[in-house]
Amino acid sequence: MAVETQLRNGSVPQQKDVSWGIAMAVSWAGLRRRLLRALITMAGVILAISFLSYMLITDSITQALVAVNNDRLNVLLQNTGVDVFGAEGTDQMTLLLIGLSLLTCFVGIVNAMLMSVTERVREIGTLKCLGACDSFIVKSYLIESAVQGLIGALIGMIVGLLVSLVIAIVNYKSFVFTNFPVLPILKALVLSFLTGTLLAVIASIWPAYLAARKQPVDALRIEE
């Protein structure tokens, strides 16, 4: 009997992982139906990334305009507080502000994901009863956060672009169009987008790990 038991244990297969594609489909359906919570998380990303892209794009535009060295334009630049003859590059204060806003955003996402784990302890336990591996739980949290980061960054990037363009046009009129720095602005957009997405994914690693570590018994004992 003992020998037979040993033999059978050896033959129990290891549960296979669910592919990223399938995990993606499952997470996406969940996100769509939990739109409000998703929007709250996204709002943080949108704010931080619109600020980042606004700063980067405004900087690109002023640098391009300073380089023109036109007298009338220099007056306009000085009126908005740009040091036309000063050193190029973003100043320390701006960098600090950007850093702080990104940090706030990061903490916000971690917090939102931790809340989502607490809210869904029972759900996680149930999924494990149905045969989910830890890896599926990790994947779904990473995907969920990545999607929120991606969409948030995309919206934030567009908001930042629009705001910086409007302000630049008000300040510098048609000079903006004749000296439009296409490449630096594209670079700024890509940088903002990647920053937002990456931030969201990194922020969800710890919550995802905590979620996957939940044991089904502990998850199911929590009574409503």
Contact set with another protein (CB under 8 A): 4-6, 8-9, 12-16, 18, 22, 25-26, 29-30, 33-34, 122-123, 125-134, 136, 215-217, 220, 223-224
**Residue placing its CB nearer to another protein in the complex, 45 or 127:** 127
Nearest to 203 by CA among 101, 95, 114: 114
- Minimum distance between the CB of residue 112 and another protein, rounded to whole angstroms? 16
**Residue placing its CB nearer to another protein in the complex, 14 or 69:** 14
Contact between 115 and 159 (Cβ < 8 Å): no
At 146, list the tokens.
């990545």
- Minimum distance between the CB of residue 186 and another protein, rounded to whole angstroms? 37
**Residue placing its CB nearer to another protein in the complex, 125 or 149:** 125
Residue 205 has a CB neighbour count (10 Å cut-off) of 15
- Minimum distance between the CB of residue 174 and another protein, rounded to whole angstroms? 51
- Minimum distance between the CB of residue 108 and another protein, rounded to whole angstroms? 22
Contact between 44 and 152 (Cβ < 8 Å): yes
**Residue placing its CB nearer to another protein in the complex, 6 or 69:** 6
**Residue placing its CB nearer to another protein in the complex, 4 or 71:** 4
**Could you tell me which residues come within 8 angstroms of residue 82 by beta carbon, excluding any fewer than 6 positions away?**
62, 66
Place of tokens 């991606």: 150
Nearest to 30 by CA among 202, 199, 149, 147: 147
**Residue placing its CB nearer to another protein in the complex, 122 or 187:** 122
- Minimum distance between the CB of residue 137 and another protein, rounded to whole angstroms? 11
- Minimum distance between the CB of residue 20 and another protein, rounded to whole angstroms? 13
* 179 secondary structure, DSSP code: T
* 84 secondary structure, DSSP code: T
DSSP string for residues in 106-143: HHHHHHHHHHHHHHTHHHHHHHHHTT--HHHHHHHHHH
